Amino acid sequence: MDCVCFILPRPHFVVIQWADEDESNWHKKKFDEEPAWSHSPPHVISQLAQCFTNAMVGPRAWIGGIFNRSGNKRPGSNKYLNYPLTPLQEQSLRRLQERLGVPFDETRLDHQEALQDLWNAAYPNVKLRSLISEQWKDMGWQGANPSTDFRGCGFISLENLLYFATRYPNCFHRLLFKQSGSRANWEYPFAVAGINVTFMLIQMLDLFSEKPKCLPGLNFVKLIGEDDEAFDVLYCIAFAMMDAQWLAMRASYMDFNDVLQATRTQLERELSLDDIQRIEELPAFNLI
Does residue 80 lie in a domain region? no
Q: Give the whole-angstrom CA distance, residue 1 versus residue 68.
A: 45
Which pLDDT belongs to residue 13? 26
Q: What is the pLDDT of residue 78?
A: 54
The model's pTM? 0.74
Q: Which residues contact 88 (CB under 8 A, 6 or more apart)?
A: 225
pLDDT computed for residue 80 by the predictor? 57
**Is residue 58 domain-resident?**
no
Q: Between 83 and 14, whose confidence is greater?
A: 83
**Structural domains counted in the chain:** 1
* Interatomic CA distance for residues 265 and 87, integer angstroms: 29
Range of the domain at 271: 86-287
User: 264 vs 20, which has greater pLDDT?
Assistant: 264
CA–CA separation, 25 and 219 (whole Å): 55
Whether 158 is covered by a domain: the verdict is: yes
pLDDT band for 224, please (50, 70, 90 cuts). very high
Q: E strand or H helix at 48, and its extent? A: strand 47-48
pLDDT band at 157 (very low <50, low <70, confident <90, very high): very high
Average pLDDT over residues 221-243: 95
Q: How confident is the model at residue 66 (pLDDT cuts 50, 70, 90)?
A: very low
Residue 107 located in a structural domain: yes
Q: Assess if residue 161 is contained within a domain.
A: yes
**Max avg pLDDT among 21-30, 95-104, 177-186:** 95-104
Q: How confident is the model at residue 42 (pLDDT cuts 50, 70, 90)?
A: very low
Mean pLDDT score across all residues of the chain: 77
Residue 133 belongs to some domain of the structure: yes
Tell me whether residue 2 is in a domain.
no
Q: Which helix H or strand E contains 16, and what residues bound it? A: strand 13-18
| Domain annotation covers residue 263 | yes
Amino acid at 257: N
User: Which of 68, 69, 84 lies closest to 218 in space, CA to CA?
Assistant: 84
Region 240-254: mean pLDDT is 92
Contacts 24+ apart (CB under 8 A), 275-282: 276/219, 276/223, 277/222, 277/223, 277/226, 278/223, 278/226, 278/227, 279/223, 279/227, 279/230, 279/233, 279/234, 279/237, 280/233, 282/234, 282/237
**Is residue 1 over pLDDT 80?**
no
pLDDT given for residue 183 in this prediction: 85
